[in-house]
Structure 1
Amino acid sequence: MLPLQLSYAYLAQLSLAVGALVFLAGLAVLHLVAIVWARLYFYRRLEPLDPEADRLPGVSILKPLVGIDKNVYANLETYFTLQYPRYELLFCLESSEDIVSMVVDTLMEKYPHVDARVFKSPKQHSVNPKVNNMMQGFECAKYDLLLISDSGVRMLPQALADMVRCMGRDVGMVHQMPFTEQRPGFHNVVQSAYFGGTHAKVYITANLVGINCTTGMSCLFRKSILDPLPGGLAYFGRYLAEDFFLSQYVRSRGFRVVLSHYPALQDGSTSVGNLRRRLIRWIKLRSAMIPHVVLLEPFSDCLLSGLMAAWALAFLWPSGVNVYAYFLIHCLAWLLCDYLLMLNCMESPAPFSRLAFVCAWLLCACMSPLNVLCAQCQRGVEWRGRRFRLEWGGVTRELPLEASVAAATTAAAAESADPASQKKVAI
């Protein structure tokens, strides 16, 4: 009979091994569900719009703009050509001297029939610069339906009509899953591999089970839902992740939050370094808002979950499993699932080779645990040349200007070295 202490140690390891395999089985189910759901749901064809435009609700589109990027003209132009009869474009600039105003003016002259206005005087309602920027348009919006859409997002002509159709009586918000526009370059393949693989799996399955996963990159909601709040949208300016708490509030009012049939196509020209800094910032935000979920996040990725399962199999069957062969099969299966999921997130075939995807996927898999480690080691959040401190629960404080000078200098140097990146990157 084993000594008592040895028995306890064995039982603890046995429990961990069984738990690891159950956890891995759950991840496999999530992968398969996401693949099937994306195949059946995304890019679903719609019936033609009702020719009687008066029967369709109007939409006010808030476009917060800061700085200029390589494809800003093409991205913004897609909002002037939407296949929807009643909408207005509210361009919210951070200052009257922002160079992006010339792009907006050019598009407004090219499409004079589109109802569009420009605002250039944001007020300091909160610590969140994006919310401060959007409040200019929020206060002047004509319609109850509001679409928040980031500057670097390209919209398909039929996407707005789809989002409005998803807005049933019991629905308070419709959001688009972040994906990426297909552009030349390996950096775009990396973004496709991440947003079409790991991120898409979590985003889709969280949405299916009702977990709050909304991003403010592109989301449609009812303005009237915010009427009870002091300041309306400005109420959420106390958070950097205003999109998360806006969605949480909509759910608390008894409304459903649903996913559009069309993903949000981010501009795919940003560098891998800027993408990594963005992902680290997101992890910091999640750590402050939902720390219990972040504890499991590293183990839901391919490499750590594979190592964990390999140890579990070696413990349960010491002489019956080749852990090296298992780990290789595990990684290959994960890669295949991510590839299939990414293809289902695309409207057309992938413009890059399978070899390019494999290289991009390996880079993402190796970056993931490093991103988590960096997020936990670095304090504060750097965003738009400013530095913020996150409190538990997501409430944000802006640090004094002198504390953020070094951070702003570093960010500016990194962006100037990357000609394809935005001058100022939005969340």
Structure 2
Amino acid sequence: MRKDWKYILYVGGAIALFVLVKLITPKQYNWNVTLAHDDKDPYGTYALFNLLPDVLEKKRIKHNYKTIYELKDSLTSNENILIVATSFNPDKEDCNALLAHVNNGGNAFISSQYIWGSFADTLDVGTRDYLFSGETLLKEDSTSITFVNPQLDTMEQYWYRKDNIQNHFDEFDTVKTTIIARNSNGKPVTIRIPFGKGNFILNATPLAFTNIYLLAGSNSNFVSQTLSYLPIRDVNWTEYYHLGRMEATTPLRFILTNEPLRWAYYITLFAILAFMIFEAKRKQRIIPIIKPLANTTLEFVSTIGNLYFQNGNHKNIAEKKILFLLDHIRTQYMLSAREIDDEFIKTLALKSGKSEQELRVLFRTIHFIQSATEISGEQLVDLNAKIETFNRR
């Protein structure tokens, strides 16, 4: 258990160090153009999302990632549609649903650098990027947008980076189109086109609606006054045409799209993985000391010998000792004891280093015991002494 706590402390310390580093590290901004309503980075539209209720007098702002065709059954004729994207080219079904909604009395605000396809052909509008058309706005790094109607803001200029508002409208029906705002070259960047019972408010500078400009100077006035051309109604803001279908496809969608929850999820996974790696090590149990098996051969022989001795069967013990002796002579000296004569005794004396007289006494004793019916304990002891003397080198 102590080892487990040690690993937990290690992981906890690593997590605490990571959180501390995240807290003291300066925030790194993401400069990608997301135009996402929940993105607080420079080119997100979090500020616009929070500004809309004030501009539209607290009307409801409904947000989604659906196409206009998917929304058509839920849209009402007195509802505004808001789209902010870098490029707007809806397919045929979306285009027909959008045109039908505005024709029935709805209004749509579309801010996009490039408006093309069947929708642009229907309204007879076209956009152009001055960076690729040979036009020049100003030699300076920044340029401005000005409203055409002097009653809006007394011709105040709103300044932006030149490469952020380089698009404008170069084609539109001059008879029915109203120009709302122009850039420094006098090119229209915001126009209004009536269609049926409703209106299209088209804008070619979507980056002017991002956080970096709404939170700087008076540029928020440009956004609020542009959106004031929409009637005070509920707004249905779809981000499908820039971000795609972002609805939850897994139960983790909510966690992964929320930065604090996302980091908590990743840290939890890391902690579990680290714990599994540490615990994967084989834990060595204490190895018990096992006593080696004792050599009980001598104890067994002693026990059997005592048994025979207590029963008084001296002859049986003597015969077994004789058999062991003859087997020892056969294996040690390579002599067979089938016939014990003078030749056998002489050969054994030479090999064993014993005297012939000593061997003759030993084998006479063996012959006597083998021929006797019973022997006494003293005779058994005498035999054992002679055998021990023979075996002793």
Q: What's the TM-score once normalised by structure 1's chain length?
A: 0.22
Q: Which has the higher contact order (CA 8 A, sep 6+)?
A: 1
Q: What's the TM-score once normalised by structure 2's chain length?
A: 0.24
| Pair member with larger Rg | 2
- More helix, by proportion: 1
